[in-house]
Structure 1
Amino acid sequence: MAAKPTPATVPEYSENSIRVLKGLEPVKQRPGMYTRTDNPLHILQEVLDNAADEALAGHGKKIKVTLHADGSVSIDDDGRGIPFGLHPEENAPVIELVFTRLHAGGKFDKGKGGAYSFSGGLHGVGVSVTNALSQRMEVTSHREGQVARLVFAGGDVVEPLSLRPQAEGDRRQGTSVRAWPDASYFESSALPMGELTHLLRSKAVLMPGVSVTLINEKTRDTQTWQYKGGLRDYLMQTLVTDPVIPLFEGEGFADSQNDSFAEGEGAAWCVAFTEEGAPVRESYVNLIPTSAGGTHESGLRDGLFQAVKSFIELHSLLPKGVKLMPEDVFARASYVLSAKVLDPQFQGQIKERLNSRDAVRLVSGFVRPALELWLNQHVEYGKKLAELAIKAAQTRQKAGQKVEKRKGSGVAVLPGKLTDCESRDTAYNEVFLVEGDSAGGSAKMGRDKENQAVLPLRGKVLNTWEVERDRLFANNEIHDISVAIGVDPHGPHDAPDLSGLRYGKVCILSDADVDGSHIQVLLLTLFFRHFPKLIEAGHVYVARPPLFRVDVPARGKKPASKLYALDEGELAAILDKCAKEGVARDKCQISRFKGLGEMNAEQLWETTLNPDTRRLMPVQLGDLDFAATEGLITQLMGKGEAAARRALMELHGDSVELDI
């Protein structure tokens, strides 16, 4: 028998084991949480974004980036200069706080006392990360006739703030930051020049009239970008092939009378439609490049699609049997999109994707009427564009029909309670397995009938962990699920025929409460045990409906809004954010959904079914392999496993919150 480990070999876990990281320590310990660590470009972009925010606010016309021979980089602007007086609460110079404290900045209070209405900076984390990951950093601020200078090393102040009056005749205003990135934090210390020039050029595009200059001391090259024609000039220079019709450009911003959006929110865009070649697609939010897209791009797609669809319907151009999808219009679109959002929500600190739900309506609401008007003023161009979209739809439908023929004639009769979708494009189609008939009713009314099907399930599904495969179909619910998705039950080592699969996404949709979780577990058990290849191929998803709705009254420039939270944690975050914006907790009306059946069709669409705003989680094997996962589920779902379940409960019982 193996000897028990002596206490000396077991790591001690006590009060002394807990470390609280202070100041900029968290950034140095885990730089990947705050920035991209493949090269230092992103930490320099943080400084550049601050200079761009000054220009965006109308306080600067020039930005200069210098690559010095010693590997350092300087960024100079002619904005207002960072304030260097003492902070009223922190008793330290403001300029020092900006570079040494996480979550200190001038971009939190939008529309009431903050320094910026629109900005790319959100978290007050940016330049403090640049400072933490630089060996040395020199900051100079020219403001109100004085010059302030500060020097940091590894995030710490090494030369405290010094002030001197500006030289006579020197009327300069603005900020100059010179940083020496610390190579030990990055995979490569070399800056990707292609990415850097693209970034600088795009800043110039998005701010017509502002000049952006890059000086390279090693090669003695100087480049300056200034675009008087903005997005149109830029897109025409970037396109590889000629567009089929002239460029469609426009902009729309909310005014003070707008009920839904704050004054100044909106977008500018330029779109080109080409027949071949890879499309050029660039989007920005408050001048921040969103390389992974997001909800503003979804809004552009929706606006273009709705406008083209209504033009086609108005002129009766759609051939019989052809169904138009958003992708048919969007696939051949190249565009530059620049959105202005008052308080944008990004995915992660490096802001590559916009998550703000309202941005879909914001952008679509301006793009759709503008394109409808333009197409009806230029009917010939409209017909050319319609032809391009219809051709794409026909090609897509033909590809879908090829799969249809392979299914043979012995197709099982689809279950009567399945409300099917119209499209036959498997990759695009989704089926929602919905708990209960009342929720099924809301889902049927709220879904997009083009590609979303609904199969309501009555009551709890059978626990199928120990059911023999050939006895499965004795249960009506499971029979209906199998026939609806078009795949027969199979084992982990079988090679099932997936060509009959009728939906690319099989989504489990149950209430956000304990019963809903139980139904979710029973369905996941069914798929893992009897349809494992569907999980392996990435076809199974869990839809996450919200548990709470928060009605927030109007505040400052922001109109009244409805926000949704998945759980208590998100609810707390929403209420904290409202408190920061000056809305008291008791002014926010919180309602809890008892179940999906309580939501009306519009709410269910907006929160759970709409691809642009929903949370849909793919089901995958986690850290454990198939066999280990199988062992764990046996403990949870097996009939003779009560003792193992009890042991699990004793082990993890205190980490479970009871929801009564």
Structure 2
Amino acid sequence: MVSNTQSISQPAATSYGEGSIRVLKGLEPVKQRPGMYTRTDNPLHIIQEVIDNAADEALAGFGKKIKVTLHADGSVSVEDDGRGIPFGLHPEEQAPVVELVFTRLHAGGKFDKGQGGAYSFSGGLHGVGVSVTNALSTRLEVVSHREGKRAAIVFAGGDVTEPLVVRALEAGERKQGTTVRAYPDGKYFESSQYPMHELRHLLRSKAVLMPGVSVTLTDEKSRDTQTWQYKGGLRDYLMQELASDPVIPVFEGSGFAGKKDDNFAEGEGAAWCVAFTEDGANVRESYVNLIPTTAGGTHDSGLRDGLFQAVKSFIELHSLLPKGVKLMPEDVFARASYVLSAKVLDPQFQGQIKERLNSRDAVRLVSSYVKPALELWLNEHVEWGKKLAELAIKAAQTRQRAGQKVEKRKGSGVAVLPGKLTDCESRDIALNEVFLVEGDSAGGSAKMGRDKETQAVLPLRGKVLNTWEVDRDRLFANNEIHDISVAIGVDPHGPQDEPDLSGLRYGKICILSDADVDGSHIQVLLLTLFFRHFPKLIEAGHIHVARPPLFRLNAPARGKKPASKQYALDERELAAMIDKLRKDGVREGAWSVSRFKGLGEMNAEQLWETTLNPDTRRLMPVQLGAMDALQTTSLMTQLMGKGEASARRELMELHGDSVEVDV
């Protein structure tokens, strides 16, 4: 404490003035924090950015060949026969366009959507792609063949080292296309080795998604060359990957919006191929604008929803459902293998490496094409439809039997559930979730907006007791804590105990509080309760925190995009959304922003769409981070202990200036 006071009384040591603010220019932010822009375990992702650009040319209808070469010196070159990157002077920046593309974070041909832009649909979307490749390479060479000329430029660490040289094409030289050769800088990556399985899978998937385009990989060290070209597209690929034969013929189709579509932009939609098998591992691959979304996302949810709704309506039409059986989406989806390729005009991804699609509209987009197509197919092939219905009903019966076993084990002497708990209908803890909601008004919206089948709501009045130093025997003196324990069906316990979790009533216990300071406090008090007195629930992955948005942005129609409502978690996300609107050419101030003061302000529909709907919400699992249980306990004691005021003051003095508090 003394040393800290001394440092505060010496302003010269920690002077903070105009000169303290450092502005990172150009590609400096990428070099400072590469992990924010790309994966740093190996250089594959920065090479993928170059491959994606070549694929975008083929997707736009230019170019039929992509060649990737792993050179013996560790560099990688990507060659395409597209239009070639433009190398004339940019009208505003007065610098060669090819230079801007590789040296500016937000420069590219993919921002002008639906306004005669170079690309209507593309995977490269954030405008940081190949400039990140450049920033993290010791050398990067670009050669562009275009309009009868050849242009070459060389970079190192993101800076131009050999300026642009343009000359006329010689006899026999190729007419058009781009070649990029990158030398990844080892200091930014944990390993300089490329994961070959991942790279081959990436290149093969590009060939699958672009029938007729040939993709070649050459490894100079092993002298091995592979070429992929699929004339049959998704079906050929899926049939090769399946572990067992489908029980019904493969269901494939596609649907894309036309010019007169009121809901979606022209060209948006999806192509899919789905196979149902009785055993073996499922094959599930999805893509957005040719980018592999390994963590799935809202387009996968749209496929699941479309399949479920179609099968459900077929079962109802033919009265196939046995009495007492309730069909859930997972019952239909459990044995489905699929390849899904979605086209989304303005996709929002989770994170810069685009592993998961977050665009809320994609659920409706994919579902609206899959559902009618499958309904039609099932009713044209009733026998196959009945076979699929049988598969789904069997899965539902297995699930319900498993749930009933748990019910019997805990049936005797169960406590009376709290009166303010609005329970769900299902008894399957794999699907059930309970929301601990701050306040009665938010609880009311949550009760109206929830899925009654699987979602329960327990409103909490006021702030929960700080239980860090409360004895376990005294916990139930507090009504709120008593109600939480009885509702979830597990008794308080310690880290060394072996509690009986067979009575657990919900697979997910979700803390749902306002996105303000009071809400954060309630969240911390509940996390304290679970960490101190229900640690096995955290260990087993049952505790989650729901993240409601703070802002709603009403965006006007722009180009092909209809007017839309977007939700932002915080000011940073809101700023990014507004920035995107400006890039789309929306007039300043044509959008409107409203701020939610709390959950109680949201109506049931908004709360469902942003916070409760499993397809579009953001739900964070609670788990131990970089610190182990002992270190976490020590820090929690510092934060929540009654006799720790001086330690908390020290923390605030150390970190107070780096926290922005929205009071």
- Deviation string 1:94-153 (CA, Å, 9 cap, x unpaired) is 112222232221112212253211111112222223233334332211111111112234
Offset, 1:538: 2.6
Q: Which residue of 2 aligns with 1:325?
A: 328
Structure 2 partner of 1:588: 591
Aligned residue identity for 2:519: G
- Give yes or no for the alignment of 1:335 onto 2:333: no
Q: Provide the C-alpha distance between the structure 2 equivalents of 1:179 and 1:80, rounded to a whole number of angstroms.
A: 20
3-state SS, counterpart of residue 360 of structure 1: helix
Task: Tell me if the contact between 1:270 and 1:336 (Cα under 8 Å) persists in the aligned partners.
Answer: yes
User: Is residue 440 of structure 2 the alignment partner of residue 437 of structure 1?
Assistant: yes
Which moved further from structure 2: 510-519 or 199-208?
510-519
Give the deviation of 1:13 after TM superposition. Answer: 4.3
Q: Does 1:361 align with 2:392?
A: no
Q: 1:590 offset after TM fit, Å?
A: 2.0
C-alpha distance in 1 between matches for 2:482 and 2:190: 53
Moved more, 524-533 or 375-384: 524-533
Equivalent in the alignment of 1:62: 65
Cα 1:171–1:618 change in 2 (3 A) is closer
Q: Which ranges in structure 1 are unaligned for 5 or more consecutive residues?
A: none
Cα separation, 1, equivalents of 2:640 and 2:221: 67
CA separation in 1, counterparts of 2:637 and 2:575? Answer: 36
In structure 2, which of residues 399, 404, 419 is the aligned counterpart of residue 401 of structure 1?
Answer: 404
Q: For 2:154 and 2:654, how far apart are their aligned partners in 1?
A: 52
Q: Does 1:198 align with 2:201?
A: yes
Q: Distance in 2 between matches of 1:636 and 1:65?
A: 53
**Residue 177 of structure 1 pairs with residue 176 of structure 2:** no
Q: Residues 436 and 457 of structure 1 are in contact (CA less than 8 Å); yes or no, is this contact kept in structure 2? A: yes
Counterpart residue type for residue 202 of structure 1: S
Amino acid at match of 1:596: L
**Deviation sequence 1:351-375 (CA, Å, 0-9, x none):** 2221222211111111111111111
Which whole-Å deviations, capped at 9, do the CAs of 1:390-439 have from their partners, x for residues lacking one? 11122222222232232251111112222211221113211011223332
Count of residue correspondences? 659
SS in 2 for 1:320: coil
- Report the AA paired with residue 128 of structure 1: S
| CA–CA distance in structure 2, aligned partners of residues 656 and 194 of structure 1 | 43
1:32 aligns with 2:45: no
Please state how far the C-alpha of 1:383 moved relative to its aligned partner.
Answer: 0.7
Indicate how the Cα distance of structure 1 residues 418 and 113 shifts in structure 2: closer, same or farther if over 3 A, else same. same
Residues 446 and 378 of structure 1, relative CA distance in 2, 3 Å threshold: same
1:78 to partner: Cα distance? 1.6
After superposition, residues 215-230 of structure 1 pair within 5 angstroms as 215-218=218-221, 220-230=223-233
**What secondary structure is seen at the aligned counterpart in 2 of 1:179?**
strand
Note closer, same or farther for the CA distance 1:441–1:182 as it changes in structure 2 (3 Å cut): closer
- Residue-by-residue CA offset, 1:314-351 (whole Å, 9 max, x unaligned): 21111222222222211211111101111111222222
For residues 518 and 31 of structure 1, the distance between their equivalents in structure 2, rounded to whole angstroms, comes to 33
Whole-Å separation in 1 of the counterparts to 2:654 and 2:140:
50
Aligned equivalent of 2:620: 617
User: Which segment drifts farther, 206-215 or 22-31?
Assistant: 22-31
Code of the aligned partner of 1:604: L
Give 1:166's aligned amino acid: L
* C-alpha distance 181-319 of structure 1, shift in aligned 2 (>3 A): same
Unaligned runs of 5+ in 2: none
Name the aligned partner's letter for residue 539 of structure 2: E
- Structure 1 residues 102 and 496, CA gap change in structure 2 (3 angstroms): same
| 2:564 matched residue in structure 1 | 561
8 Å contact 1:431–1:503 — kept in the other structure?
yes
Q: CA deviation at 1:33?
A: 3.3
Match of 1:112 in 2: 115
TM-superposed CA distance for 1:219, in Å, is 5.0
CA offsets, 1:176-200, max 9 Å, x none?
A: 2233344454444443433333222
Give the structure 1 partner of residue 603 of structure 2. Answer: 600
Distance 1:643 1:71 in 2: 54
User: Partner amino acid for 1:52?
Assistant: A
What is the identity, as a one-letter code, of the residue corresponding to 1:616? L
Task: Please give the per-residue CA displacement for 1:198-218, whole angstroms capped at 9, x wherever unaligned.
Answer: 222211111122222334455
2:328 is the alignment partner of 1:316: no
| Greater alpha carbon shift after TM alignment, 587-596 vs 381-390 | 587-596
Mean Cα displacement is larger for which, 429-438 or 566-575?
566-575
Within 5 Å, give how 1:99-498 maps onto structure 2: 99-112=102-115, 114-168=117-171, 172-218=175-221, 220-498=223-501
Please state whether the residue corresponding to 1:388 is helix, strand or coil: helix
Question: How far, CA to CA, are the matches of 1:563 and 1:422 in structure 2?
Answer: 31
CA distance in 2, matches of 1:216, 1:656: 50
* Deviation of the 1:220 alpha carbon: 4.9
CA shift digits 1:209-265 (9 cap, x unpaired): 222233445555543322222111211222221111111001111122222221111
Give 1:19 shift: 5.3
Query: Equivalent residue for 2:582?
Result: 579
- How big is the shift at 1:32? 3.5
Preserved contact between residue 145 and residue 171 of structure 1 (Cα < 8 Å): no
Structure 1 distance, partners of 2:471, 2:532, is: 10
Q: Are the structure 2 counterparts of residues 123 and 370 from structure 1 closer, same or farther at C-alpha, using a change threshold of 3 Å?
A: same
% identity of equivalent residues = 84
CA drift of 1:300 comes to 1.0
2:519 matched residue in structure 1:
516
User: Which residue matches 2:76?
Assistant: 73
Tell me which of 85, 95, 109 is aligned to 1:82.
85
Q: Secondary structure at the match of 2:458?
A: strand
Q: In structure 2, what residue type is equivalent to 1:33?
A: M
Which moves more between the two structures, 572-581 or 219-228?
Answer: 219-228
Moved more, 317-326 or 278-287: 317-326
CA distance in 1, matches of 2:82, 2:144: 10
Report the alpha carbon displacement of residue 583 of structure 1 after superposing the two structures with TM.
2.5
- Alpha-carbon distance change, 39 to 639 in structure 1, aligned in 2, over 3 angstroms: closer
SS at match of 2:286: strand
Q: 1:473 to 1:221 in 2, by over 3 A?
A: closer
Q: Residues of 1 paired with 2:662 and 2:77: CA distance?
A: 55
Secondary structure of 2:589 counterpart: helix
AA partner of residue 374 (structure 2): L
